[in-house]
């Protein structure tokens, strides 16, 4: 790659001409952890590979980590169990799929780089894999709604004010799907979301999704950002026509749910005695087939002389009330008691760390929502519903169905 390519300029040109698909497939065949992503409202796509063949956990310190990609589980006390993929190899692609930037941090004669180059072959196009969605049973719905009922009773007893209860849905493919093809379809379907796919060979898993929720970001100018996102309704009316965001009607339950998330973020600012923040919203935003209430918060870290704000707020925020509840400890205890599945990386966070730009480095971490875990030919979809004392069990089930449809609509597409 550039001057660090294998066997001189000829190999560098070969690598430069590769596509996301060929690079991803080579990484999987070589057993290299890899991540591809596209930031919200951008057209460029980025890809990194960790040539170590394995990934370790780190304490997440945004100011100290090298360039790479972080993946955190839902349960991550003090951020110490964050998986980190080093950006040993990096590519950036324009909207037409052409390489516009590439970087390598490994020597040109490194065995891992040679191994990777040997795996680069032109992929054969194949027909989309047949998909079978394992439909939820009446028993699944009953169990979820019973859990919602128990949560409401606990809220009424003032054990907590809000809790997020999640469920899963299973999809089976006739053969392992092409991840880059699904990734590109997600990018096309959800331009306002953070779209990503992460290959973790140690677990034999691929996690991919289209998250609408920014957790923490710090751009090259030192601007810190986070959002409060809650409240959910379909983006389409009863006739299947798109609703106008300005005409969306929100119930008291949804308004209060979103306000709880806002108060949680402001409470974190107060803990660190930060008053110089900008608050914008709430407003209605469209995220694929859904609408949400959103409030944006930003801080100029240079103006307040707080370069560590991203790391500090990350540790205070995760897991947010939007994926856990309030108070956090009581809500988390209820989740672990009630949910029959392990969340793993669902409702954790993920994103690129210290990516070099012309003006500096930037980091973007998003809550891992609207996501799936792929293991071979079976995918597990995750969806949650924020519960308050005004929740209605049947409506909360319907909300999780709508959230699963974010990915199902794309999975079912015919290429």
Q: What is the 3-state secondary structure (H, E, C) of 271-299?
A: HCCCCCCEEEEEEEEEECCEEEEEEEEEE
The pTM is what? 0.93
pLDDT confidence bin for 110, thresholds 50/70/90 = confident
The confidence score (pLDDT) of residue 4 equals 39
262: tokens are 């806002």
Burial 19-36 (b: 16+ CB within 10 A, else e): bbbbbbbbbbebbbbbbb
Rounded distance, CA 274 to CA 304, Å?
A: 9
Amino acid 151: pLDDT = 97
- Counts of helices then strands in the chain (DSSP H, E): 9, 21
Among residues of the chain, what percentage have pLDDT more than 70? 94
Q: Which of 201, 172, 181, 143 minimizes the C-alpha distance to 380?
A: 172
Helix (H) or strand (E) holding 18: none
Question: Rounded to whole angstroms, how far apart are CA atoms 408 and 399?
Answer: 14
Mean pLDDT calculated for residue range 125-142: 84
pLDDT at 123: 63
CATH architecture designation of domain 131-187+221-344+381-411: 4-Layer Sandwich (3.60)
* pLDDT above 90 for 141: yes
**HEC assignment per residue over 293-358:** EEEEEEEECCCCCCCCHHHHHHHHHCCCCCCCEECHHHHHHHHHHHCCCCCCCCCCEEEEECEEEC
For the cut 50, the answer to whether the pLDDT of residue 12 exceeds it is: no
Query: Exposed (0-12), middle (13-18) or buried (19+): which is 296, by Cβ within 10 Å?
Result: middle
Averaged pLDDT score across all residues of the chain = 91
**Cα angle 228, 230, 233; round to 5:** 145
Q: Is the dihedral of CA 13, 14, 19, 25 positive or negative?
A: negative
Q: What is the pLDDT of residues 255-312, one digit of tens each?
A: 999 999 999 999 999 999 999 999 999 999 998 889 999 999 999 999 999 999 999 9
**What pLDDT, on the 0 to 100 scale, is given for residue 13?**
37
The Cβ-side half-sphere exposure at 297, using a 13 Å CA radius, reads: 25
User: Residue 3: is its pLDDT beyond 70?
Assistant: no
pLDDT tens, 305-348? 999 999 999 999 999 988 999 999 999 999 999 999 999 999 99
Q: What percent of the chain is modeled with pLDDT above 90?
A: 77
Residue 9: pLDDT band with limits 50, 70, 90: very low
CA dist 309 and 269 (Å) reads 10
Distances (CA, A) of 193 to 140, 206, 289, 302: 29, 19, 12, 27
Is the CB of residue 199 less than 8 Å from the CB of residue 34? yes
């Amino acid at each position: 790659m550039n001057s660090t390519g294998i066997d001189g300029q000829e190999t560098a040109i070969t690598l430069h001409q590769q596509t996301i698909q060929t690079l991803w497939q080579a990484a999987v065949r070589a057993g290299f952890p890899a991540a591809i992503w596209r930031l919200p409202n951008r057209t460029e796509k980025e890809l990194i590979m960790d040539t170590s063949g394995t990934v370790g956990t780190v304490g997440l310190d945004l100011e100290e980590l090298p360039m790479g990609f972080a993946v955190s589980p839902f349960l991550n006390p003090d951020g110490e169990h964050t998986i980190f993929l080093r950006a040993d190899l990096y590519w950036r692609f324009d909207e037409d799929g052409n390489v516009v930037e590439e970087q390598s941090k490994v020597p040109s004669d490194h065995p891992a780089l040679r191994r990777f180059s040997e795996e680069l072959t032109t992929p054969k196009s194949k027909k989309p894999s047949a998909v079978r969605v394992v439909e939820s049973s009446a028993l699944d719905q009953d169990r979820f709604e019973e859990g919602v009922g128990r949560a409401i009773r606990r809220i009424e007893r003032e054990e907590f004010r809000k809790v997020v209860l999640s469920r899963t849905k299973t999809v089976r493919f006739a053969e392992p799907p092409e991840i880059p093809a699904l990734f590109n379809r997600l990018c096309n379907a959800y331009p306002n979301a953070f779209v990503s796919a992460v290959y973790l060979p140690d677990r034999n898993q691929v996690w991919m999704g289209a998250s609408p929720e920014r957790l923490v970001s710090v751009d090259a100018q030192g601007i810190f950002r986070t959002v409060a996102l809650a409240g959910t309704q379909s983006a389409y009316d009863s006739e299947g026509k798109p609703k106008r965001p300005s005409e969306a009607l929100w119930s008291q339950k949804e308004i209060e749910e979103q306000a709880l998330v806002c108060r949680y973020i402001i409470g974190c600012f107060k803990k660190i005695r930060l008053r110089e923040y900008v608050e914008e919203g709430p407003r209605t935003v469209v995220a694929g087939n859904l609408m949400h209430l959103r409030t944006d918060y930003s801080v100029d870290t240079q103006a307040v002389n707080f370069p560590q704000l991203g790391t500090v707020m990350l540790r205070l925020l995760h897991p947010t009330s939007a994926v856990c509840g309030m108070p956090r400890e009581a809500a988390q205890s209820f989740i672990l008691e009630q949910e029959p599945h392990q969340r793993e990386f669902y409702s954790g966070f993920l994103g690129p760390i210290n990516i070099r730009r012309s003006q500096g480095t930037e980091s973007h971490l998003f809550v891992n929502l609207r996501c799936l875990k792929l293991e071979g030919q079976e995918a597990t979809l995750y969806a949650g519903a924020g519960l308050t004392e005004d929740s209605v069990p049947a409506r909360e089930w319907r909300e999780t169905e709508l959230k699963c449809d974010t990915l199902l609509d794309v999975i079912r597409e015919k290429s």
